[in-house]
């Protein structure tokens, strides 16, 4: 096995484990939105892992659909609403959560399969990523204010690295990459694994601070 393939699989495995483990941790806290979104990330990475080993096209297509889901709606919509429980004490009803997921999956399907959407898709991803980035800045400010500078700086690092990945994915491809974009996906999955872990600990830090007030 080539070194680049080994690194790709290790990066993918890191994302799989972080998605499932920290998704379970969110679910144990009663946060269904964040828990299920983290599991969707893990399931997406699992399908990409299987595709890399077997070449099963269905697994690749499933991974790409779930990737579109997370980038367009999972983080900028679902994760933001899920975090409002500790920032604004807002917890959506079960019906609201179901509607949010249903509409998000419909939107992800449109992004992948509706032709008229394709020319604007990269810019839509960038716009939604910017929304999530603004929310990360807000959380970082809140964390800094409650005496959590390490977690605040960690969120800012997540912001910078994920924005770089988004630009590389849609607007400025990684120079020297192969046709399968192996190097890009290796870097991207490592960054996403870092984000999935870091966001959980930032959430916990802010949750502790809010409960102590």
Number of structural domains in the chain: 1
User: Which tens digit of pLDDT belongs to each residue from 31-66?
Assistant: 999 999 999 999 999 999 999 999 999 999 999 999
| Enclosing domain of residue 25 | 3-212
User: Which tens digit of pLDDT belongs to each residue from 198-207?
Assistant: 999 999 999 9
User: Which tens digit of pLDDT belongs to each residue from 68-112?
Assistant: 999 999 999 999 999 999 999 999 999 999 999 999 999 999 999
At residue 213, the 3 state secondary structure works out as coil
User: Which tens digit of pLDDT belongs to each residue from 141-187?
Assistant: 999 999 999 999 999 999 999 988 887 776 667 776 776 788 889 99
Contact assessment for residue 165 and residue 191, using Cβ atoms and an 8 Å cutoff = yes
pTM beyond cutoff 0.85: yes
Place of tokens 């992948």: 112
At residue 191, the 3 state secondary structure works out as helix
């Amino acid at each position: 096995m080539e070194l680049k393939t080994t690194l790709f699989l290790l990066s993918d495995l890191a994302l799989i484990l972080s998605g499932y483990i920290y998704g379970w941790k969110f679910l144990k806290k009663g946060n269904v939105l964040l828990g299920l979104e983290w599991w969707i990330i893990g399931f997406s990475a699992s399908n990409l892992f299987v595709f890399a080993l077997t070449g099963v096209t269905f697994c690749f297509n499933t991974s790409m659909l779930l990737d579109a889901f997370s980038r367009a709606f999972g983080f900028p919509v679902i994760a933001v609403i899920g975090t409002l429980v500790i920032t604004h004490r807002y917890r959506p009803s079960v019906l609201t959560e179901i509607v949010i997921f249903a509409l998000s999956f419909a939107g992800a399907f449109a992004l992948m399969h509706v032709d008229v959407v394709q020319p604007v898709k990269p810019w839509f991803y960038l716009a939604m990523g910017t929304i999530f980035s603004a929310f990360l800045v807000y959380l970082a400010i809140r964390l800094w204010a409650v005496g959590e500078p390490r977690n605040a700086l960690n969120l800012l690092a997540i912001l910078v690295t994920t924005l770089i990945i988004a630009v590389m994915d849609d607007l400025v491809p990684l120079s020297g990459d192969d046709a399968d974009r192996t190097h890009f996906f290796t870097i991207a999955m490592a960054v996403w694994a870092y984000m999935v872990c870091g966001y959980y600990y930032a959430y916990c830090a802010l949750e502790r601070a809010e409960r102590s007030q």
